Structure 1
Amino acid sequence: MRRRRLATVLASTALAAGTMLTTATPASADPNFTFSYTKYSSGSLVINVYTNGTHSGRAEFQADPIPDAVPGDAIRAQDSLDDGWGIKAIMTFPESREVSTSGHPSPYTTGWDTGDLEEGETVIMRACATKSGSSYCSPSYGGIA
């Protein structure tokens, strides 16, 4: 009788454990990131970042200065969605520069990171969504200084 009771308890425990394992919710997956860009006749460009279809930020290159407002040959990043992901603007050519919203609460826009590029120089940059060592990046897009 005692063995039968022990077998019943063990079988019930195994069944309960199996049920808990099969009904556990899977770990949440990373969001789906997509990108779009606009290149302006001035050479400036904006790369928009979307998280699961919702606009979540942007990376910008400003080719020419706007007096008393925006410097020229400058990049910045903007995070507009409070989802724990930061936005990074990365210039890879003709020089290496990057700015990031990581570590700041959203909404947040970085300051302009400026330089002095030769007029007519091709500028290559991309946008990335970053979080805890993970990055999802746009293709590289070109503007004109």
Structure 2
Amino acid sequence: MRKTPRTLVGMCMAVAAVVMTASPSHASYSNVVYVATGLEPAPGKGTFSADPHGRIPGDAIRACDVTRDGWGVKAWLYMNHRVIRTASTLGHRAMYCTRWKTGNLKEEQLVTLRVCLVKKGREPYRCAHGRART
């Protein structure tokens, strides 16, 4: 079966989109987990860093708001169905990342990072999550 260049480009783009969206937000046992807020392009993201590297501390989260859409971004780190720490961009203008919220956690524990778009007085909107080990 003969493939046209347009078909091949389309197939490559589809495979790349699946790999690029599935890997970071569902990565297990990774050092850093990025979770976008469920929209494309992502208006915000949350990041979990299990181990320190460079200027990034370990067992840390932060939230980033990257679009001027009126929504903030909030990230929650859960362990055993309990919130360990949160980071929120509410009250700041877009194009803002929170400072790293950190604290020592027991090693080899499964954690979940939940990231949502938020507005003051409203329920979280468009949430996504990812898992990692400390």
Normalising by structure 1, we get a TM-score of: 0.67
RMSD: 2.1
Looking at structure 1, the residues matched to 26 and 130 of structure 2 have their Cα atoms a distance apart, in angstroms, of 9
Are residues 1:58 and 2:74 paired? no
Query: Offset of 1:140 from its aligned partner?
Result: 4.0
Distance 2:31 2:57 in 1: 14
1:49 and 2:25 matched: no
Counterpart CA distance in 2 for 1:74 and 1:112 is 6
Distance in structure 1 (CA, Å) of the matches to 2:44 and 2:102: 20
In the alignment, which residue of structure 1 is the partner of 2:112?
124
Unaligned runs of 5+ in 1: 1-34
| Contact 2:35/2:47 (<8 A) preserved | yes
CA distance in 1, matches of 2:28, 2:95: 25
Structure with bigger RCO (C-alpha 8 Å, 6+ apart): 2
Match of 2:69 among 69, 74, 83: 83
TM-score, normalization by structure 2: 0.72
Contact 1:42 1:64 in 2 (8 A): no
Q: How far 1:133 sits from its partner (Å)?
A: 2.1
Which has the larger Rg? Answer: 1
Cα distance between partner residues in 1 of 2:79 and 2:110: 7
**What percent of counterpart residues are identical?**
35
Instruction: Give the stretch that moved more between structures: 69-78 or 36-45.
Output: 36-45
* Residue-pair matches, total: 109
**Mapped partners of 1:87, 1:139: distance in 2:** 11
The question of 1:107 aligning with 2:95 is answered yes
